[in-house]
């Protein structure tokens, strides 16, 4: 018998360790439903098992009466915790602070009488004596039985709650509740049997051993059915917490249930049993004629006495009420804000359509103007060509410079005819480059250089690369950059006294021409700057015998010439350089002139402005670069001149 008692003591201590582990698990999930009650219950079980094992195995160290007083403490606290866990898990009303005080009142009073038993012997009756080999021969006093009955009632009530919940739920929640009910039944029956029958004698109490069974079942529920992670939500709670109005109707359209938001749909809190037509007749009219069919309709409700309205989308579903009886479940969703946004979007779409129509009309007008301009330019150009031919015929023995000027004039006419032919295409051309072809930067730069009147400037190609885009538009952009170097090669960008050369790619003014005309005096009309390469406004102009050169990357020279410009000897631009950006994809165009001041660089890329700081040439360059999806920036080169960098990011 001694060996059996020792085995029971060891099993009790081992079970206490398992219970302590369950306490730790419950505390780790203390924010979950039922976790606090479970931790309290498992804590009581741990104390009970440890005290019982101590009473059996260490009776010489701890008096058995003291150990059993801890058993009574653990029983009171553990049963209250088990009951609280059942209340919270099954979504019953959790006790208030006063209710909790009342629940713990009986265990507290029991402890007072247990620890003061020597004074009154009402809890442990006379005859309660320690046994040799461990244990306590207990004789219960009159105050023990209220404690026992109270504990039995709490455990039985918790078991009943779990069983009822298991019968009402399905799936994993039924298994959770069933497992917890089973975990509580074992200790309850074992303790009742020990107190009333004592089948195995006073030393062996099966109640702590039944805790081993209960602990294993509880552990199974915790980890197999995720007791503290998957927590059931009462349907009533879910319906009451719904943000949408909910109304249940019987087969005669009378209200049989509603949640707290139903007043938003019906205008006031409904009275169960009233016909829904007394609150909002439209709801009754929205019910389907077929009792088995569902339906979704949209209704408009007025808010109280105000003129404001709300839009509700009603989802009507059949609700079986019994044999041959079908009611309805009506769930209304407030879609007012959704409808308002739809109206705003529709209004914006209409405005966008009007704007698109206006742009389409303006584009059509632009195309017509471009066609007219292209057509009307052909006649004066044809007349100018005829006049040039007449001049050639009349002055067969003219000075070579005059013949050269006529050839340059014919070149200009050809350029104008080409431009006139492209006007309609330019008007219809989209901003983006739709068709891309590969082309060489150096070749395109040389083609652009031959078109521009570059005067005494030299072109140096410091590097080349293959670009993808529209070569003609890129060449036009390079032409404008070269013209910018010609025009602003002496005076900084934005200076008031720029020379009146050919069309300024950045911005031009008639003020210079007016000033020259007013200063001519008796000497006659002022001569304009040469417009064509090799030409002069002065018949006695002597051509330079040695033309300037265009220096290529391979050291070859390409002839280039032009009129002398009124540049200062120290500030005049002499060279335009084209090259690649090195580590970055792209290219640059720079000159060694005075450059563009930092505060005017952004304005330089804008279309013509009244202050003269913007024009068209560089604005066209920016538009062309952006059309290719590239980026244009204006900075300063090492020589201090303007530097235009185009990053292609290819």
Exposed, middle or buried by CB within 10 Å (0-12, 13-18, 19+), for 293? exposed
Choose among 56, 58, 57, 44: nearest CA to 16: 44
128 touches 65 (CB < 8 A): yes
pTM confidence score: 0.41
81 touches 123 (CB < 8 A): no
11 touches 212 (CB < 8 A): yes
Q: Round to whole Å and give the CA distance between 248 and 325.
A: 14
Range with lowest mean pLDDT among 426-440, 491-505, 545-559: 545-559
| pLDDT classification of 201: cutoffs 50, 70, 90 | low
Give the residue, 52 or 130, on which the prediction is more confident. Answer: 52
608-635: average pLDDT: 77
Averaged pLDDT score across all residues of the chain: 76
Beta pairing, strands 295-302 & 129-130: unpaired
Angle, helices 171-196 vs 64-89, to 10°: value is 150
Range with lowest mean pLDDT among 457-461, 477-481, 551-555, 560-564: 560-564
Residue 218 has pLDDT above 70, yes or no: yes
Which pLDDT belongs to residue 164?
Answer: 87
Share of the chain above pLDDT 70, in %: 74
- pLDDT tens track for 359-390: 888 877 877 887 787 777 877 888 888 888 88
Residue 646 has pLDDT above 90, yes or no: yes
Which pLDDT belongs to residue 468?
Answer: 92
First-residue to last-residue Cα distance in the chain: 93
Which pLDDT belongs to residue 256?
Answer: 82
Exposed, middle or buried by CB within 10 Å (0-12, 13-18, 19+), for 487? buried
Residue 171 backbone zone (phi > 0: left; psi -120 to 50: alpha; other: beta): left
Cα-based angle 604, 608, 609 (whole degrees, multiple of 5): 90
Choose among 255, 256, 257, 254: nearest CA to 240: 257
- pLDDT tens track for 490-500: 555 555 444 43
Q: Which helix (H) or strand (E) holds 562?
A: none
Which pLDDT belongs to residue 107?
Answer: 92
> DSSP for 294-334?
-EEEEEEEE-TTSS-EEEEEEEEEEEEEETTEEEEEEEEEE
- pLDDT tens track for 570-592: 556 789 999 999 888 899 999 98
Residue 131 has pLDDT above 70, yes or no: no
Residue 9 has pLDDT above 80, yes or no: no
Q: Is the dihedral of CA 415, 418, 419, 420 positive or negative?
A: positive
Choose among 214, 173, 232, 231: nearest CA to 82: 214
Q: Which helix (H) or strand (E) holds 471?
A: helix 471-487
Give the residue, 8 or 552, on which the prediction is more confident. Answer: 8
Residue 527 has pLDDT above 90, yes or no: no
| pLDDT classification of 554: cutoffs 50, 70, 90 | very low
Give the residue, 257 or 467, on which the prediction is more confident. Answer: 467
Which pLDDT belongs to residue 104?
Answer: 92
- List of residues 6+ apart from 115 with CB closer than 8 A: 69
439-462: average pLDDT: 90
Helix (H, G, I), strand (E, B) or coil at 468: strand
Which pLDDT belongs to residue 588?
Answer: 95
Range with lowest mean pLDDT among 122-131, 475-484, 625-634: 122-131
Angle, helices 2-28 vs 206-223, to 10°: value is 30
């Amino acid at each position: 018998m001694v060996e059996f008692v020792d085995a029971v003591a060891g099993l009790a201590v081992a079970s206490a360790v398992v219970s302590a582990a369950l306490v730790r698990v419950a505390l780790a999930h203390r924010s979950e439903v039922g976790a606090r009650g479970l931790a309290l219950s498992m804590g009581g079980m741990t104390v009970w098992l440890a005290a019982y094992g101590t009473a059996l195995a260490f009776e010489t160290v701890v008096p058995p009466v003291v150990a059993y007083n801890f058993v009574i403490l653990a029983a009171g606290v553990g049963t209250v915790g088990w009951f609280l866990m059942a209340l919270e898990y099954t979504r019953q009303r959790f006790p208030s602070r006063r209710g909790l005080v009342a629940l713990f009142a009986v265990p507290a009073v029991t402890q007072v009488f247990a620890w003061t038993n020597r004074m009154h012997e009402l809890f442990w009756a006379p005859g309660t004596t320690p046994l040799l080999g461990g244990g306590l021969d207990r004789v219960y006093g009159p105050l023990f039985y209220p404690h026992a009955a109270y504990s039995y009632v709490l455990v039985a009530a918790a078991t009943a709650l779990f069983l009822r919940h298991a019968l009402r739920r399905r799936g994993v929640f039924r298994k959770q509740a069933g497992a917890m009910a089973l975990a509580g039944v074992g200790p309850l029956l074992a303790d009742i049997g020990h107190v009333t029958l004592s089948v195995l004698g006073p030393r062996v109490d099966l109640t702590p051993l039944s805790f081993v069974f209960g602990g294993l079942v509880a552990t199974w529920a915790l980890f197999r059915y995720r007791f503290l992670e998957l927590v059931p939500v009462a349907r009533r709670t879910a319906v009451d917490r719904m943000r949408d109005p909910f109304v249940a109707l019987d087969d005669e359209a009378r209200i049989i249930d509603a949640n707290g938001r139903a007043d938003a749909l019906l205008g006031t809190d409904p009275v169960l049993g009233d016909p829904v037509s007394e609150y909002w007749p439209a709801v009754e009219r929205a019910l389907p004629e077929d009792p088995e069919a569902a339906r979704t309709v949209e209704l408009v409700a007025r808010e109280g006495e105000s003129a404001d309205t709300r839009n509700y989308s009603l989802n009507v579903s059949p609700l079986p009420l019994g044999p041959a009886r079908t009611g309805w479940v009506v769930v209304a969703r407030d879609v007012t804000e959704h409808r308002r946004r739809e109206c705003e979007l529709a209004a914006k779409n209409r405005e966008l359509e009007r704007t698109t129509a206006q742009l389409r009309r303006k584009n059509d007008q632009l195309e017509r103007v471009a066609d007219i301009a292209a057509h009307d330019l052909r006649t004066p150009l044809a007349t100018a060509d005829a006049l040039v031919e007449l001049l050639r015929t009349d002055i067969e023995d003219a000075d070579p410079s005059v013949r050269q000027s006529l050839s340059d004039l014919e070149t200009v006419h050809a350029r104008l005819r080409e431009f006139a032919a492209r006007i309609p295409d330019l008007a219809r051309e989209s901003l983006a480059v739709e068709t891309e072809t590969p082309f060489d930067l150096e070749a395109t730069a040389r083609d652009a250089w031959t078109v521009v009147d570059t005067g005494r400037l030299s072109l140096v190609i410091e590097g080349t690369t293959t670009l993808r885009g529209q070569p003609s538009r890129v060449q036009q952009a390079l032409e404008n950059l070269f013209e910018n170097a010609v025009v602003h090669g002496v005076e900084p960008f934005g200076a008031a006294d720029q020379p009146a050369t050919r069309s300024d790619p950045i911005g031009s003014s008639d003020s210079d021409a007016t000033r020259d005309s007013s200063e001519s005096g008796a000497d006659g009309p002022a001569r304009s700057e040469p417009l064509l390469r090799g030409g002069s406004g002065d018949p006695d102009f002597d051509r330079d015998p040695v033309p300037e050169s265009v220096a290529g990357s391979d050291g070859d020279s390409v002839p280039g010439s032009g009129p002398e410009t009124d540049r200062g000897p120290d500030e005049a631009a002499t060279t335009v350089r084209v090259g690649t950006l090195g580590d970055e994809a792209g290219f640059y165009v720079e000159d060694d002139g005075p450059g563009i001041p930092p505060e005017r660089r952004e304005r330089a890329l804008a279309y013509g402005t009244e202050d003269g700081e913007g024009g068209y040439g560089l604005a066209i360059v920016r538009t062309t670069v952006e059309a290719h999806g590239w980026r244009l920036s204006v900075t300063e080169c090492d020589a201090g001149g303007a530097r235009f960098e185009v990053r292609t990011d290819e």
